[in-house]
C-alpha cells in the first residue's frame, strides 16, 4: 500500500537495519530482482558488509552498502519487515501474511533480518537503480518546479501527477485527494492550469502529503472514506463521480472540481 507516507515509515524502520553485519541474503526469487540483477549477485555485494545509510527517493527506499546502493520498490502490496516488526499503525499488519511471500531476505549475523514481503510481487529489488529519470520529490518540489512539470501537455492533470518522471512520490490516493482539495477536475489537461491553480495544487499536494505523513498512512484522508459508490463530497455533499483516468480509478466531486 505504499505511497510516500508508508515509504517514510519504511525509512525509519530500516534505520534499525544499519551498521549490522550482513551474514546472508536470500534472493532466490529471481522475478523480484530487477534491472538485470541475477540471483546470487546481491549476496556477493552485501555479505560481510553493513548498510550504512538509508534514504528515500520518490517511491524507492535506498540502502547504502559499500560503494553500492540497494534499491527497494514496493509496488502495490510490498511491505518492509525488520526483525519481525512492520511499520507501526499500519491499518492491517502484514505480519500475519505468509512468509511464502517474502521476496528478499537479508540476514544479519545477530539473528535478525530485513525482508520484503510482497504478495502480488509488483515491487522489486535493484542494485544501484537508475533514478535519473525521477522528477523532483513531492516533499520538496517548489511551485516553479511543479509549474514546469505540468506545462505544455495535454495529458490529464491526474495522469501527470502520477508520472514519476515529472514528479516523484505521488500515488493514486494522494493524487485524488490533492486535486479534490485544490478543486481541480482530474480530467483537465495538465497544461491548461492557470498560475493560480498551480499554486493551489502545490499547496494541496503539500498539505495532503504532510497530513499523510502525520498519520503515517496514505489511508485516512478526507476523500478516502468516500471513494465508493454513493459516496458524497465532504465539502458540499454532492454525489462523487468516478472514472478511469490514465488507467487508474479516479474519484472526484463534479460540483466543486472544475
Q: Which residue in the set 9, 71, 75, 221 belongs to the binding site for DNA (CB under 7 A)? A: 75
72 contacts 125 by C-beta, under 8 angstroms? yes
Residue closer to DNA, measured from CB, 32 or 51? 32
Cβ atoms within 10 Å, residue 130 = 9
Q: Which residue in the set 36, 84, 91, 140 belongs to the binding site for DNA (CB under 7 A)? A: 91
CB of 249 to DNA, least distance (A): 3
Q: Which stretch binds DNA (CB under 7 A): 13-21, 68-76, 105-113, 192-200?
A: 68-76
CB of 23 to DNA, least distance (A): 27
Residue closer to DNA, measured from CB, 84 or 154? 154
Cβ atoms within 10 Å, residue 194 = 8
CB of 257 to DNA, least distance (A): 18
Q: Which stretch binds DNA (CB under 7 A): 2-10, 12-20, 47-55, 201-209?
A: 2-10
| Residues 153-192: x where in contact with DNA by CB under 7 A, - otherwise, as a string | xxxx--x--x-x------xxx-------------------
User: With binding defined as CB under 7 A, does residue 80 bind DNA?
Assistant: no
Give the interface with DNA as residue ranges (CB under 7 A).
1-3, 6, 31, 58-59, 73, 75-76, 91, 98, 101, 119-122, 153-156, 159, 162, 164, 171-173, 218-219, 244-249
Amino acid at each position: 500500500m505504499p505511497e510516500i507516507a508508508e515509504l517514510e515509515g519504511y525509512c525509519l524502520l530500516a534505520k534499525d537495519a544499519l551498521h549490522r553485519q550482513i551474514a546472508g541474503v536470500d534472493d532466490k526469487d529471481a522475478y523480484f530482482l530487477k534491472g538485470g540483477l541475477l540471483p546470487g549477485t546481491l549476496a556477493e555485494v552485501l555479505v560481510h558488509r553493513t548498510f550504512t545509510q538509508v534514504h528515500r527517493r520518490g517511491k524507492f527506499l535506498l540502502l547504502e552498502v559499500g560503494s553500492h546502493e540497494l534499491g527497494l520498490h514496493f509496488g502495490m502490496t510490498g511491505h518492509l519487515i525488520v526483525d519481525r516488526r512492520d511499520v507501526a499503525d499500519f491499518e492491517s499488519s502484514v505480519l500475519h501474511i505468509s512468509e511464502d511471500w517474502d521476496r528478499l531476505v537479508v540476514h544479519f549475523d545477530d539473528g535478525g533480518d530485513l525482508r520484503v514481503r510482497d504478495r502480488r510481487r509488483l515491487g522489486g529489488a535493484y542494485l544501484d537503480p537508475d533514478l535519473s529519470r525521477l522528477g523532483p520529490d513531492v516533499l520538496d518540489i517548489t511551485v516553479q518546479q511543479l509549474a514546469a512539470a505540468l506545462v505544455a501537455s495535454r495529458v490529464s492533470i491526474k495522469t501527470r501527477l502520477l508520472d514519476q518522471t515529472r514528479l516523484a512520490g505521488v500515488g493514486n490516493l494522494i493524487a485524488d485527494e490533492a486535486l479534490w482539495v485544490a478543486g481541480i477536475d482530474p480530467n483537465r489537461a495538465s497544461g491548461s492550469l492557470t498560475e493560480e491553480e498551480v499554486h493551489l495544487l502545490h499547496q494541496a499536494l503539500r498539505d495532503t502529503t504532510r497530513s499523510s505523513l502525520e498519520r503515517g498512512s496514505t489511508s485516512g484522508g478526507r476523500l478516502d472514506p468516500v471513494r465508493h459508490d454513493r459516496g458524497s463530497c465532504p465539502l458540499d455533499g454532492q454525489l462523487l463521480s468516478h472514472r478511469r483516468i490514465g488507467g487508474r480509478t479516479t474519484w472526484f466531486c463534479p460540483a466543486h472540481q472544475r
